[in-house]
Structure 1
Amino acid sequence: MLKFSVLGPLEIRVDNEKISIPRGPKVRQLLSLLVLQAGSVVPHGILVDELWGKNPPKTALSTVRTHVYHLRKILGQEIAGVAGVNLIDTWSAGYVLRAVHEQVDAEAFLRLARQGETLLHAGNAGEASRVLSRALEMWSGGVLTDVSCGPVLMQHVRHLQEMYMRVLQQRIEADMRLGRHGGLAAELRSLVVRHPLNEWLHGQLITALCLSGRRGDALHAYQELRGILQEELGLDPSRAVQQIQQVILSGDESMLQNPLGWQYGAAVEQLPNAS
C-alpha cells in the first residue's frame, strides 16, 4: 500500500519500502501541498502562492505544469508495477493527489486526536491515554523537516504543530487522572525546557511534583516559572497557577487532582513564543 508521511521528513513508502522523492525544492513543496490536501483539488493559484508568494513570475503557471510533469514521471518510475496508478490527476482548476486520508500520516494523526479527545471528555482516561499516545508516536520530528515551506505550507505546518501540543496536553491530563505523577514529572521537566512560556506545562509539573511527595521541588518549580515570566514578559504567573502554589502551601493535596485541566493550555499557547 502507498503511504505518505509529513510528520517528520517528507516520505513516500510502497509496502513499507521508502521510494525516492525529487530533490528540487519547489517540486518537493508542490508534492507536500498535494499530500496535505490528498483527495482534494489544489487550485493553480494556491500552488503559485506557495511557490512564489505575492510576486510570481509571468511563467509561474507553465512552471507549475513542468514541475507536475517531472513529478509524475519520477513517481511513475518509482511505483511502476507496484501501485499501478497515476498519482496526480489534472483538473481544470488545478491538481489532485489520488490518495485517501488513511494513506497520509497527518490525517491518521488527526483522526486519533479526535478519538482521544472524545474518550477524555467521556471520562475514559486509560483508553484516552493509549489513543493519544499512539497519535504522538506517529511524529518523527517537526512537520516537513526537509522541505522549504512557503506561506501556504506554513499554515498547514502551524496547524499540525498546534494540534500536536493539544494532543500532548490531553495525554498528560489523562495520565494525571490515572495517577502517573512520578513518571510525568520527569517528562514535564524536559517539556518546560523546550516550551518555557507554556504555563500549562509548568502547572502540571508543579502539580505532578507535589503529588509525588516532592513539595519542596514543586515550590521551587513555581519560583522558576515566576522568574521566567518576569524576565521574558514582565508578568506574574496566572491566577490558576498561583492557586496551585497556595494549595501546596496549605498542604491540602486533594485539591490538586485536576487543578487546570487540559483546556487551560489553549489560552496559554496564545502567549508570545509560547510554543
Structure 2
Amino acid sequence: MEAQVLGPVSITTGGHAVMPSARKTKQVLALLLLNANHLVSVPTLIEELWEDKPPASAMTTLQTYVFQLRRMIAEAMPSVSPKDVLATTLNGYVLQIPPESLDLNRYEQARMLGLRHYATGEFRQAADSLRTALGTWRGPALADVKTGRLLDSEVVRLQESRLTAHETCINAELAIGEHGTLVSELTGLTAQHPMHEPFHRQLMLALYRAGRRPDALNAFRRLRSTLVDELGLEPSREVQSLHQSILSADPALDHDHALALR
C-alpha cells in the first residue's frame, strides 16, 4: 500500500490507485492521511467539512463518508478488515497504515536527515538527502482536494517546509561548487516565486560564480523592480549587500573563499 498527499491525494495498492470521487469524502481522507496513525476527532472532521456552520445531520453525514472510505478500502485490500485500517475510537477515527507507506513521512525523514547533515557542514550528504526529500513531491500538497480551514493551514505549512528544504538544498550545493548546474533551476524558481528573495540571492551568487556578473546584476534589478512595483519595498539588507559585493567583485564571494549564503 502506498499513500500520497504531496501532490494529488491517492492510495495505491496492487499497482492500482483508488480514490473516492465525492469531494467531502476525499476531504476526510486527506485529513486522516495527514494525521495517519493518530486520532482525528469528530469535532475536527466536522470543522474541516463545514467550518462554523455544520448541518444538523453532520454526524450522520460524516459516518456516511467513513462508510464510503471503508468500502473503498475493502475493494482495494480484500485481505484486511476495513475497520482495522480505518478504526473507530471513542472520540473519532484513526487511519492505521505503515508509516513508510505515506509519502509525507518519507519526505520528513529525508528532510530532517538533510538538515542534520547541513548543520554539521556535511554539504554533499545534506544535498543528497534533501534532493531525496524534494523528489517525493508530485505537485502542490493535496492538489486535487477542495480544502477547508484546517487543510488550508496544512497546505501552507507543507509549502513553507518545501520551500525551506529547497533553499537549504541549494545552499548545500552552492557550498560544494555546483553553481553552474544550479543556474537553470534557480532561473525557473525565481520565475515561479518572483518575490521570494532567498531564491534570487542564490541565483545572483550562482551567476556570479559562473562568471556571469552582468546577469547576476540583472537578476537583482528584476527582483528590485518587482518588489518596488508590487509592494513598494526595497530588497532586504542581505540582498542589497550581495549586490554591492557583486558590483565590487568581492573575492569573498568566490567559491574558494566562501561557503553558500545562509
**In structure 2, what is the equivalent of residue 260 of structure 1?**
261
Displacement of 1:218? 0.8
How much is the aligned-residue C-alpha RMSD, in angstroms? Answer: 1.4
Matched, 1:106 2:104: yes
Separation (CA, whole Å) in 2 of partners of 1:252 and 1:70:
63
**In structure 1, what is the equivalent of residue 11 of structure 2?**
12
**In structure 1, what is the equivalent of residue 191 of structure 2?**
193
Residues 14-63 of structure 1: CA deviation (Å, up to 9, x unaligned)? 24x12322100111111111111011110000000011111000110111
**In structure 2, what is the equivalent of residue 207 of structure 1?**
205
SS of residue paired to 1:65? helix
Structure 1, unaligned runs of 5 or more: 262-275
**In structure 2, what is the equivalent of residue 95 of structure 1?**
93
Question: Is the CA contact (8 Å cut-off) linking 1:39 and 1:97 kept in structure 2?
Answer: yes
Separation (CA, whole Å) in 2 of partners of 1:23 and 1:3:
18
Separation (CA, whole Å) in 2 of partners of 1:131 and 1:74:
34
Question: Is the CA contact (8 Å cut-off) linking 1:200 and 1:260 kept in structure 2?
Answer: no
**In structure 2, what is the equivalent of residue 229 of structure 1?**
227
Question: Is the CA contact (8 Å cut-off) linking 1:87 and 1:99 kept in structure 2?
Answer: yes
TM-score by length of 2: 0.94
Residues 51-109 of structure 1: CA deviation (Å, up to 9, x unaligned)? 1111000110111111111211222122103x566311111100000113222111110
Task: Read off the aligned partner of 1:7 and give its amino acid letter.
Answer: L
Question: Is the CA contact (8 Å cut-off) linking 2:180 and 2:206 kept in structure 1?
Answer: yes
Separation (CA, whole Å) in 2 of partners of 1:201 and 1:25:
35
Separation (CA, whole Å) in 1 of partners of 2:57 and 2:259:
58
Question: Percent identity at matched positions?
Answer: 36
Please identify, of 99-108 and 136-145, the stretch whose mean Cα deviation from structure 2 is larger: 99-108
SS of residue paired to 1:19? strand
TM-score by length of 1: 0.90
**In structure 2, what is the equivalent of residue 272 of structure 1?**
none
**In structure 1, what is the equivalent of residue 77 of structure 2?**
79
**In structure 1, what is the equivalent of residue 67 of structure 2?**
69
Task: Read off the aligned partner of 2:164 and give its amino acid letter.
Answer: R
**In structure 2, what is the equivalent of residue 127 of structure 1?**
125
SS of residue paired to 2:234? coil
SS of residue paired to 1:57? coil
Equivalent residue runs for 1:130-169 within 5 Å? 130-169=128-167
**In structure 2, what is the equivalent of residue 49 of structure 1?**
47
Task: Read off the aligned partner of 2:206 and give its amino acid letter.
Answer: A
SS of residue paired to 1:149? coil
Separation (CA, whole Å) in 1 of partners of 2:219 and 2:41:
50
Separation (CA, whole Å) in 2 of partners of 1:74 and 1:246:
60
Separation (CA, whole Å) in 2 of partners of 1:235 and 1:33:
38
Question: Is the CA contact (8 Å cut-off) linking 1:11 and 1:18 kept in structure 2?
Answer: no
Question: Is the CA contact (8 Å cut-off) linking 1:87 and 1:98 kept in structure 2?
Answer: yes
Change (3 A) 1:97 1:203: same
Separation (CA, whole Å) in 1 of partners of 2:150 and 2:243:
43
Please identify, of 57-66 and 248-257, the stretch whose mean Cα deviation from structure 2 is larger: 248-257
